[in-house]
Structure 1
Amino acid sequence: MPKLWTNNVKEHRHAVRAAALDAAAALIAHSGPGAVSMTRVAEQAGITRATLYKYFPDVETLLAAWHERQVHEHLAALGQIRADAAGSGHELQAVLQAYALMIHDRRAYEAPHLHTGSHSDHAQQHLEAFIADLIRGDAGDLAGLGPEDLARYCIHAVGAAASLSSRDAVPLLVEATIRGIRK
């Protein structure tokens, strides 16, 4: 059981919420979103169902909160990958490959209904702007479209990673995508 009591109420609430989301994440990773129930999450988090219901009124709200946290973590990871590749001339490739791998790896537990709502819209806009900025900084000779249109193209193209039969094919998909935006 995790220790959930902290020095103040705000920290305590954050710890309980994080424990519930961690428990949901573990259930999703093990058995998929269909395995998430309020009872199972409460048991896994070491809290009562009544406490869990104070934070999340239902499974759908809990799953949406888990998904929102995943999205924020993925965007932060892509930002770190960009920073790590800075100056190499391969920032766009590194970010697109990481994003494609995220897409490929999540397909086992994907639930399309989680990709709705304002957090998903905001994340999509952030991702498009992030990739457009990488495209603007790319030294290569790009196709005649603007960076925003090319960013949407890249996002959709690497989205095909969800249907690739192997992780080994992801770099090939990314290379084809990058070739597609060059003249």
Structure 2
Amino acid sequence: MPKLWTETIDAHRHAVREAILDAADQLIEGGGLRAVTMSQLAERAGIGRATLYKYFPDAEAVLTAWHERQIAVHLHLLMQAADHPGPAVQRLAGVLTAYAGVARQRHGGELAATLHQGDHVSHAAQHLTRIIAALITEGAEAGDLRDDVPPDELASYCLHAVNAASAMATGSAVDRLVRVILHGLHPVP
């Protein structure tokens, strides 16, 4: 097959897949994870059910792919926050605040718990732990953060603490939470 034809087919497949995942996103936004059915997905994506089944065997596979995409988007957002210019403490605050925003968006229920058991979640969590640990190391080297506890342990503390944001109703509550977490990272006199 000519290269142009292959690239065109690949681009089409990617566009259809993205349209399906966008449809899932809209259905989830409107009615939660249980609102995603193959019929609704096909209708919302503007494709036939037979075409949908060529891409995904069932709604669970669509939800898994949608969740993988969400995790990738969130991780990209967190990496951008870590890469901002400025002191490590300021960048760490940005990462924790962004992660708190992600935690507040989580969907509850058994299906959501199942989606969070995938390898893509554990890989993203490991990557995020490394990002936070690197910022803590940088902050400790600058004298702005404590160095008496290993950075990996402090990163785990940060991630577990910031998960409390999932129960917070306001942005100001999240800001207070992030300030408390950062206060726990201050150097010990």
Q: TM-score, normalised by structure 1?
A: 0.90
Query: In the alignment, which residue of structure 2 is the partner of 1:136?
Result: 137
Query: In the alignment, which residue of structure 2 is the partner of 1:55?
Result: 55
Gaps of 5+ in 1: 1-5
Query: In the alignment, which residue of structure 1 is the partner of 2:182?
Result: 178
Q: After TM superposition, give the deviation of residue 63 of structure 1 in Å.
A: 0.5
Distance in structure 2 (CA, Å) of the matches to 1:107 and 1:100: 14
Query: In the alignment, which residue of structure 2 is the partner of 1:119?
Result: 120
Distance in structure 1 (CA, Å) of the matches to 2:108 and 2:32: 8
Query: In the alignment, which residue of structure 2 is the partner of 1:23?
Result: 23
> Which amino acid is 1:167 matched to?
G
Q: After TM superposition, give the deviation of residue 136 of structure 1 in Å.
A: 1.1
Gaps of 5+ in 2: 1-5
Q: How does 1:1-40 map to 2 (within 5 A)?
A: 8-40=8-40
Query: In the alignment, which residue of structure 2 is the partner of 1:145?
Result: 149
> Which amino acid is 2:13 matched to?
R
**Percent sequence identity over aligned pairs:** 47
Structure 1 vs Structure 2 CA RMSD? 1.9
Count, aligned residues: 177
Query: In the alignment, which residue of structure 2 is the partner of 1:87?
Result: 86
Distance in structure 1 (CA, Å) of the matches to 2:151 and 2:178: 17
Distance in structure 2 (CA, Å) of the matches to 1:37 and 1:19: 15
Cα deviation, 1:103-143, whole Å, max 9, x if unaligned, reads 11334788221101211111111111111111111131315
Rg larger for: 2
* SS of corresponding position for 1:106: coil
Cα deviation, 1:45-84, whole Å, max 9, x if unaligned, reads 0111111111111111110110000010011111122223
> Which amino acid is 2:136 matched to?
I
Greater shift in the superposed pair: 125-134 or 109-118: 109-118
Q: TM-score, normalised by structure 2?
A: 0.87
Distance in structure 1 (CA, Å) of the matches to 2:71 and 2:135: 19
Query: In the alignment, which residue of structure 2 is the partner of 1:74?
Result: 74
Q: After TM superposition, give the deviation of residue 88 of structure 1 in Å.
A: 4.2
Cα deviation, 1:145-179, whole Å, max 9, x if unaligned, reads 21111111100000000111323200100111111
Q: 1:36 to 1:107 in 2, by over 3 A?
A: closer
